[in-house]
Structure 1
Amino acid sequence: MQPSDFRVPTKRPYLLRELRSQLPSADDRVRSISGHDPTEYEAVADALYRVFVTARNLAPTRNTTNCATHPNGPIDPEPPQGWGRCLFCNSNRRIGNPQARSGGPVSASQYDVPPPPYTYEILYNRMRQINDAVYELALCSPDDAFGVVADLMHGAFIIARELSRPRSTSKCRVHPGAPIDPDAPGGPQCLFCSTAANKRARAVPPPQIRDRVRHPARRRYTP
């Protein structure tokens, strides 16, 4: 392709300017985290997702979740077996919303999902990579360069989203923020699941109706 044949996409100047205006604020939120409280990462995850949406609109179109409600939403890094990959729908299913359903496996390309563990240091280094990649962007940059930024932003959002989850060593998918029962049979586990299992074990079985025992007929005494 000759340089004279290149045409800047219509929305690219506006979206690139918006990306560069949103990124510093999100980066400042990451740098201002003072501890390891999951609630500190909630606002960070929201800010990073807004930046990711802008970066996604700059990148080539992808089908990420195969979800009718959130076709371009974030991907769940650990979807349960039989569930879709939409993080929003899976989060609603985890808190007990039976109407939340996402699509099946996706055959199209997906955005980057960094593997665990998820720590603040990994998020901080990811933000440094994003800042360097955005600095190199220009209106005439190839589509692949914008796709790389979208991948990095999606990964940063996933890290912050996972760090914002309630911490629990029980690793219960039904009650991720539940306390732990240290005296549960088989070792420490989710207190809610352990309590439910104990109630089922102590439940009184329903009464059973048995056939009445019939005695043999007595002979009448005749003098």
Structure 2
Amino acid sequence: MGYADLRELRTALSTAQDIAFNLDPAAPSAEQTAELVDALRRALGSATALTGEQGSTGCPEHPRGAVDPLHGDKDDPLPPGWGKCLLCNDRRRRAGTQRPSRR
């Protein structure tokens, strides 16, 4: 977070501005609007990263991801070191239940 996010924000906004000024005012093409949406999403992601917040999951990889519903479940607690991120916890669960492949 920090300088790299600010640089990405500026780049994405500049790209979005260039695309917006070059849109066909009568009927922008689907490709142009898709490029504009992509640039704006990158800008939004970079701006969000500038806040420095970890989001509701506390996960640096998926800060705005889904919260694991089993987090804090007293009947079936999560193993030590696991966080609230459903995506990371699901990956850990799958890694722990897969059988080694036979070759």
- Give 1 or 2 for the bigger CA radius of gyration: 1
Higher helix share: 2
Question: Normalization by structure 1: what TM-score?
Answer: 0.22
The normalised TM-score by structure 2 is: 0.45
